[in-house]
């Protein structure tokens, strides 16, 4: 639930005569959410570069393809069935009904959950989140998954994991209705769900040949830095757009988003410098993303100084978390678990600590404002998301693997996925 949205919508409705349905739509809000939708879409090609730069040269194109192709398949899934499963009329507080199947009834009139916006725009804005979430997972199985099984898995994951969790948290499901947990822009729905799925994927697919003893240095870190920059830019649409209005709350989310990213950039690099003696560019770029992830659930519920703390801790915590895979032995190729799973979990819990109704009256007070029950609610939403995503993703991967075979055969993996899966190479010299 984006609490800011409901409050804004309610205010507009109260101030408007009941007969003038059309006039609840705000042109200013509509303009901002149109722009935000484009910004959120742009994050997925940004993610493609962020990930693509970190793989080996023989696998960069396949990694870019995971994100670019995701835009295609999830857009189709979303307009046909995903939107209605997420935001259709509630069924048992678990999933949305089929009333918006094939976008039936989703038009230019006011959206039921945001009377200030056209319904079709609300649908598309939410759709951009549905696209990037499974794209985040792809970092975990990069460099070893077959293309067609990957695409089948992604569509099924969006349908069976993303859409229900989105419904629980934003579409009127049990977390929103019973626990009133706060998730402004997708800490649980986007980052914990994908970070947990990434863990399941790394385990089911197994390690890349040669990992961890064989060196696998990134092929093009400048692309990774460019990707991080695009993610940072797009994240303003992701978080400030989640106010679902062009107002002060959107501005607050804009600022907290930026401040957390900036702080985590510094703290990740500082942690690295302290620990290993050098501050790396990959570390700084990773820190920025970790900060963006961590502030996502709280962006519209906490103030700028809380975002310094949230981002600052995220940088150090995620720096530490990306090393866990070496100790535990799972090959999460591009650290989706360490950045999105851990950063998202920290952000969701931090929202329970730092949230304040002084920032957002439609939100709630957190621990520091004297309300420990919010932290309990945040904890429940985190555990539920982790448990559901881990179990369903694991089963789904096993089924797709049994039916189609997820893992590239050894020769194809050695040759590289770019040539073996797509018949092309990134760099011809």
Partner 1 sequence: MKKIEAIIKPFKLDEVKESLSALGVQGLTVSEVKGFGRQKGHTELYRGAEYVVDFLPKVKLEVVVPDDKASEIVSAIENAAKTGRIGDGKIFVIPVDEVVRIRTGERGGEAL
- What phi, psi does 94 have (nearest 5°)? -110, -40
Nearest distance from C-beta of residue 252 to partner 1, angstroms? 32
Interface segment toward partner 1; rule CB under 8 A; list 123-131, 187-195, 259-267, 277-285: 277-285
Which member of 97, 206, 218, 229 binds partner 1 (CB under 8 A)? Answer: 218
Phi-psi map region of 56: left, alpha, beta (phi>0 left; psi -120 to 50 alpha): beta
Number of residues that bind partner 1 (CB under 8 A): 16
Nearest distance from C-beta of residue 227 to partner 1, angstroms? 15
Which letter does DSSP use for residue 407 in this model?
B
| Site for partner 1, residues 46 to 85, rule: CB under 8 A | 54
Q: Per rule CB under 8 A, is residue 278 in the interface with partner 1?
A: yes
Task: Give the list of residues 6+ apart from residue 335 with CB closer than 8 angstroms, or none.
Answer: 139, 286, 321, 322, 325
Q: Compare residues 322 and 355 and give the one whose CB is closer to partner 1.
A: 322
Q: Which of 139, 132, 1, 136 is nearest to 78 (CA)?
A: 132
Q: Per rule CB under 8 A, is residue 282 in the interface with partner 1?
A: yes
Which member of 88, 237, 283, 352 binds partner 1 (CB under 8 A)? Answer: 283
| Site for partner 1, residues 156 to 215, rule: CB under 8 A | 212, 215
Q: Per rule CB under 8 A, is residue 276 in the interface with partner 1?
A: yes
Q: Per rule CB under 8 A, is residue 124 in the interface with partner 1?
A: no
Q: Which two three-digit tokens encode residue 53?
A: 């730069």
Q: Per rule CB under 8 A, is residue 216 in the interface with partner 1?
A: yes
Which member of 16, 280, 357, 373 binds partner 1 (CB under 8 A)? Answer: 280
Please give the Cα distance from 11 to 135 (Å, whole number): 36
Handedness of CA 48, 153, 83, 352 (dihedral sign): negative
Interface segment toward partner 1; rule CB under 8 A; list 68-76, 93-101, 191-199, 282-290: 282-290
Q: Which two three-digit tokens encode residue 50?
A: 């962020």
| Site for partner 1, residues 284 to 323, rule: CB under 8 A | 286, 322-323
Residue identified by tokens 């932290």 is: 375
Which letter does DSSP use for residue 145 in this model?
B
Nearest distance from C-beta of residue 378 to partner 1, angstroms? 28
Task: Give the list of residues 6+ apart from residue 14 with CB closer than 8 angstroms, or none.
Answer: none
Nearest distance from C-beta of residue 330 to partner 1, angstroms? 14
Q: Per rule CB under 8 A, is residue 361 in the interface with partner 1?
A: no
Task: Give the list of residues 6+ apart from residue 131 with CB closer than 8 angstroms, or none.
Answer: 41, 44, 70, 71, 74, 75, 78
Q: Per rule CB under 8 A, is residue 97 in the interface with partner 1?
A: no
Q: Per rule CB under 8 A, is residue 335 in the interface with partner 1?
A: yes
Q: Per rule CB under 8 A, is residue 429 in the interface with partner 1?
A: no
Interface segment toward partner 1; rule CB under 8 A; list 66-74, 176-184, 194-202, 279-287: 279-287
179 Cα distance to chain centroid: 21
From the DSSP assignment, how many helices (H) and strands (E) are in the chain?
Answer: 19, 4
Which spans of this chain sit near partner 1 (rule: CB under 8 A)?
54, 212, 215-218, 276, 278, 280, 282-283, 286, 322-323, 326, 335
């Amino acid at each position: 639930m984006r609490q800011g949205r409901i409050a804004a919508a309610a205010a507009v409705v109260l101030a408007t005569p009941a007969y003038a349905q059309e006039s609840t739509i705000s042109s200013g809000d509509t303009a901002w959410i149109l722009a935000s939708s484009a910004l959120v879409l742009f994050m997925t090609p940004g993610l493609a570069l962020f990930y693509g730069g970190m793989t080996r040269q023989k696998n960069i194109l396949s990694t870019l393809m995971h994100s670019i192709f995701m835009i295609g398949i999830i857009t189709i899934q979303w307009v046909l069935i995903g939107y209605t499963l997420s935001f259709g009329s509630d069924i048992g507080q678990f999933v949305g009904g089929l009333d918006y199947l094939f976008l039936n009834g989703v038009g230019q009139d006011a959206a039921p959950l945001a009377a200030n916006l056209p319904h079709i725009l609300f649908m598309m804005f939410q759709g951009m989140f549905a696209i990037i979430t499974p794209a985040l997972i792809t970092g975990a199985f990069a460099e070893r998954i077959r293309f067609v099984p990957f695409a089948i898995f992604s569509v099924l994951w969006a349908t069976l994991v993303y859409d229900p969790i989105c419904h629980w948290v934003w579409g009127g499901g049990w977390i929103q209705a019973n626990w009133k947990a706060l998730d402004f822009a997708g800490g649980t729905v986007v980052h914990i769900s994908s970070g947990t799925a990434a863990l399941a994927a790394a385990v089911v697919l197994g390690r890349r040949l040669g990992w961890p003893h064989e060196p696998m240095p990134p092929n093009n870190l400048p692309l990774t830095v460019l990707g991080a920059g695009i993610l940072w830019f797009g994240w303003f649409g992701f978080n400030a757009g989640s106010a679902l209005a062009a107002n002060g709350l959107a501005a607050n989310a804009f600022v907290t988003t930026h401040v957390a990213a900036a702080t985590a950039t510094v703290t990740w690099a500082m942690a690295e410098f302290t620990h290993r003696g050098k501050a790396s560019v990959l570390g700084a770029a990773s820190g920025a993303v970790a900060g963006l992830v961590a502030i996502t659930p709280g962006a519209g519920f906490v103030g700028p100084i809380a975002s310094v703390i949230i981002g600052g801790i995220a940088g150090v915590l995620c720096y530490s978390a990306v090393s866990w895979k070496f100790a535990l032995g799972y090959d999460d190729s591009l650290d989706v678990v360490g950045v999105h799973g851990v950063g998202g979990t920290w952000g969701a819990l931090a929202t329970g600590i730092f949230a304040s109704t002084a920032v957002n009256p439609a939100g709630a007070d957190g621990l520091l404002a004297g309300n420990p029950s919010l932290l309990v609610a945040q904890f429940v939403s985190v555990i539920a998301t982790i448990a559901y995503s881990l179990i369903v993703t694991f089963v789904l991967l096993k089924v797709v693997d049994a039916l189609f075979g997820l893992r590239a055969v050894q020769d194809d993996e050695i040759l590289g996925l770019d040539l073996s899966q797509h018949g092309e190479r990134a760099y011809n010299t």
